[in-house]
Structures are given as C-alpha cells and as structure tokens.
Chain A
Amino acid sequence: MFPGIPMLNYDVVVIGGGPAGMAAAARAKELGLNVLLLDENDYLGGILPQCIHPGFGLHYFREELTGPEFAARLAKRLVELGVEYRTAARVMEIRNYSDLEKVVIFTSPSGAYQAWAKAVIYAAGARERHAFEIGIVGDRVAGVYTAGEAQTLMDIYGVLPGKEIVIVGSGDVGLIMARRFALEGAKVKAVIELMPYPGGLARNVMILRDFDIPLYLSHKVVEVRGKGRVERVKVVKVDENLNEIPGSEFWIEADALIISAGLVPSVKKLTAIGVEIDPSTGGPVVNDRLETSVPGVFAAGNALLINDLVDYVAEQGELAAEGAKEFIENGGIESRKWIRVEKGENVRLLAPHRLSGERDVYLYLRVARPMEDVELRIPEVGKRVKLSLATPAEMLRVKLKAEEIRDAEKLTVEVVRE
C-alpha cells in the first residue's frame, strides 16, 4: 500500500511501551497472538523508570515495588515470552482500512515501516498540562518545568532542576516531587493548590510535614518573572468560585517553577481515525473490552483515562489484549445489546461507557468532590457499595457482575451520602 516502505504483518500492534502497553503485549502473546510492541522512548517502561519512589504493584504483583522495579518485572515477562518490541520507534500514523485491516506507520533508527495488523491496542499514555494551559503569564524564562520533566532531569539524568522551588498543584505527582526535591537538597518554598483541598492522597500530603513545606490551598500562581531564569513567582488567593481576590497577591522568590497541574490522555492519533472521545475523561469512549468506537482499536492505561494506580493500568492492558483476541477470532466484539453507563450525582468521569452485560466488568470512576461515608449506587439494578471515603484524588474501581447488569437498558452511577 505504501510502496518502498517495508511491510510487516501481525495480529496486533501495541502502541506504547509503558505498563499498559507491556501488559497488553505480554497478554496478547500468551493468548497466542502475533504481536509487535512499539515505543518512542529509548527504553521500555514509559514513565515508570523515573518514578523511583515506592508504592507500585501492591495489587498486580502483591508486593510493594518502586517504578523502575515494576517496569523491570513487566519487561522481563516480555522477554521471557519472546514478545517482539522496538524502542525509539515513533508512530506517524494509524490507518483503519477495514475491521481486520489496519496499518501502523512508524519510523525507527533502521528506517520507516508499515506494520499491518488486525487489531491495534493504543497505550500511548498522557501528556502533562503546561504553564500556559493554566493561565500563568510573564517572562519566558528558563526554570519552568512540568513535574515529569523535572523528574526525568533528576531521576534519569541526575540533575537538580533548581535550588529554590515553587510547585503548582498538590496532586500525588506534585507532592511526590516536593519530597524528591527536598530530599536532594533543594528548598521547596511552597506548594500552591487552586482548590480548597489537597489534590493528592492523604498519605502523600503527609510528605510535606516531613520537610516543613508550606501548602497554600485556594491559591494560584499567576505570573513568573526573571531575567533569563526564574527569579520570582506571583501568587494570589482565590475565593470559593476560584476567582482571584484583589489585593491578596504576594511574591515568592524561586529559581524554578514546577507545574504539576494534571494529565491529559494522548489521543491525537485516535481522533485522526475518527475515534469518539469522552470530554470528561479526555480519552476514548470504550466498551467493556476497552474497544473504542472504531472496531478493533483498543485503548488502555492513561490514554484511556488518567489512573492513579499503575496496577489498574496494567490490568487495562491485559483486558485490551483479551479484547483483541476475541475481536480477531470472532471478527468483532459480540453483544446482543450495549448497556449505556451514565454519570449521575457526584461522578465526574467514568469508563467503560458501554457494557455487553455478558461478562463481569470493572468500572473505573472519579468523584467530583471529596465526601466521607458515601454509597456508590446504581439505581437501575439496585446496586449499592459503601465507601468510607471518596475523593477526586483516588479513582474508584467497582466490579459489576454480568448477571447483575444483564437485563438493564442503562446504568446511572452516583456517589451519594448514605
């Protein structure tokens, strides 16, 4: 189809060599599929090799691991299974010719290739929101990094990104980076959080106490100033509607500003082939096999929705691989009907969006605001799950059994007071 470009043939091509992609490729191989894994980085693992803190793998490996250790386990499994993979491989385009004819065009140090496959698993992860996106103005100076960039500098290349640091965002990533900077000898002058509550888990907020790092809730960074390098940042207090309170501005001297303002699923190559996107997750609309609206194209991990546990990411990868297997064998994912899943009270986002009712499924969701002693309810089928705490920081994962939901037309998920 593309003359002059070497042609490769597979059952499934997995895009992205992070935890979702590695788990997907390993599972696909175990299921007897001929699989190729592609990653644009020089090494497998996605962001895990730079996440040197512990807390990974408690569900998936039943053991507490650091990010690099988690990645190494999955990579070892790939090698043992003999999965074909290529690093430094950049996907240029996916084309969808028909249900069982897709092509992934990629470049690599040895040239360009067209990889034909019956199914594609898209596990390309997410990108970080940057300074411009959250309305920070001022000088265009060195020393402004996203948390992930700073983490790469420090934990891959061994370079401290600044000596006096201000962090924007108190999600788990921001808090964990605050600890890393402080531990490596930088002064973390403040963590600035827009919302009236911390974005991360309570256990990570505790990190700040270890190093006496001040957390400013209901504040935002609005301006950065400096000659060549960050010298100071302007902070302002916000009211309950997140409007700036005039006269509340103050400056903090710093030589680095770290933006940890959340992640956005990378979906460009999916939207290019017409995949339907859910505006609330930022990722694709999927069914209970994690198949997108384009038949035979599956999504998993942070490209599907932003996860906080790598264990769930790997689980999604495996699920997508099982979906690919079923798709290839049956020429499609079968369902008598698709049950729509809809967001109810206090549910900000959820996936999957369509359920077959023919198999058990995990529903992943996040609430809109923190609440204690709540119940997750699905009124259509009388499902109730008690939760002692639900916060936007923590993704909820709920198992629905096929027989519970089989007869429903649609399911409305709500998280409300008992």
Chain B
Amino acid sequence: MTKTYRFTCIVCPLGCSIEVEVEHGKVKDVKGCKCPRGKEWASQEATSPRRVVMSVVHVEGGALPTVSVKTAEPVPKELIPELMKFLAGLKLKAPVEIGEVVAEWNGIKIVATRGA
C-alpha cells in the first residue's frame, strides 16, 4: 500500500512543499525539496517524526523560578506528552549552569539552556 504525505519543509525558511511516497513503511520517493537536508527531514517526518523538545523546569533558589531546557536529541513525536509530564514533575535546585545535563529520560539527556 502506497501512502503520500505532503509537508511544508521546516528545515530552513524556504519552506519547500515536499511530497513523500511511503510503501510498507519505507520511503519510495521524495519530490519537491531543493536540498538533501529537506529530503532527509521529510523522509523521517513521513516514517517516524521526531522533535527536539523545549520546556521550562522549576528551580528553587535561583534568580528566576525556572530554567529553560531542551532535549539533547530529537524525541519521537508520540512520546512527547509523556516527556512533558516527566518535565512537569522535575524540581531542580540552584545553581544550574547553562549547558548542564539536569536529568535523563529514556536515555535522552535534558540540557539546561538558561542558568539559574
């Protein structure tokens, strides 16, 4: 069974309209993108979409009540709600350095993007 996905590419501001044909879970054809990065992104988007996730985590004793964090690598899209619940339950103590790994979830590092 062939399925066609249509995306607006999010890799760069050009925003190419990309069509990906997927057969039995495998990418058969990618049309419409102007660069290899777009092709790679669209192929992944059609078969197993992933996102780098950003959020804030509560921190005690810092100058601000939160630090911003990101995942060190893209997370499968369907797992994002679960990750968000994990982050909502986290409580850190100052000091937190920017770039510090503040937690780990399913083997994915959570990195502070702001100090506190």
Contacts and interface: CB of A to CB of B under 8 A. Distances in A.
Interface in B6-23: 7-15
B65 A66 contact: no
A69 B98 contact: yes
Contacts of B14: 388-389
Nearest to A50: B68
A183 B80 contact: yes
Contacts of A157: 64-66
B115 interface: yes
Interface string B58-82: 1000011110101000000100100
Task: Name which of A52, A156, A201, A389 has the most chain B CB atoms within 10 A of its CB.
Answer: A52
A381 interface: no
Contacts of B15: 201-203, 389
A210 B68 CA distance: 21
B70 A66 contact: yes
A52 B58 contact: no
A53 B54 contact: yes
Interface residues of B, number: 30
B98 A72 contact: yes
Interface in A33-85: 42-43, 49, 52-54, 66, 68-69, 72
B57 to A, nearest CB: 8
A52 B13 contact: no
B58 to A, nearest CB: 6
A203 B98 contact: no
B101 interface: no
A52 B8 contact: no
Contacts of A206: 7-8, 10
B98 A156 contact: no
Interface residues of A, number: 28
A374 interface: no
Contacts of A68: 68, 98, 113-114
Contacts, number: 80
Given A54-B54, A158-B65, A201 B70 contact: no
A202 B8 contact: yes
Contacts of B70: 52, 54, 66
Interface in B65-116: 65-66, 68, 70, 77, 80, 84, 88, 98, 113-115
B66 to A, nearest CB: 4
Contacts of B55: 52, 183-184
Contacts of B113: 52, 66, 68-69
Nearest to A48: B114
Contacts of A249: none
Contacts of B80: 183
Given A158-B58, A210-B77, A43 B8 contact: no
B13 A201 contact: yes
Contacts of B52: 54
Nearest to B85: A185
Contacts of A155: 56, 66, 68
A184 B68 CA distance: 13
B54 A203 contact: no
Task: Name which of B9, B12, B54, B66 has the most chain A CB atoms within 10 A of its CB.
Answer: B54
Nearest to A65: B113
A394 B13 contact: yes
A154 interface: yes
Contacts of B84: 183-185
Contacts of B10: 202-204, 206
Contacts of A52: 54-56, 68, 70, 113-114
Contacts of A66: 54, 68, 70, 113
A394 B8 CA distance: 16
B30 interface: no
A205 interface: yes
Task: Name which of A49, A68, A156, A185 has the most chain B CB atoms within 10 A of its CB.
Answer: A68
Q: Which 6 pairs between the two chains have the least Cβ-Cβ distance? A: A202-B15, A203-B10, A68-B114, A52-B68, A158-B66, A202-B8
5 contacts: A66-B113, A156-B65, A183-B80, A185-B88, A202-B8
Given A43-B63, A54-B70, 15 more contacts: A52-B70, A52-B113, A66-B113, A68-B68, A68-B113, A69-B98, A156-B66, A157-B66, A158-B65, A184-B84, A185-B84, A203-B9, A204-B10, A206-B7, A394-B13
Interface of A: 42-43, 49, 52-54, 66, 68-69, 72, 154-158, 183-185, 201-206, 210, 388-389, 394
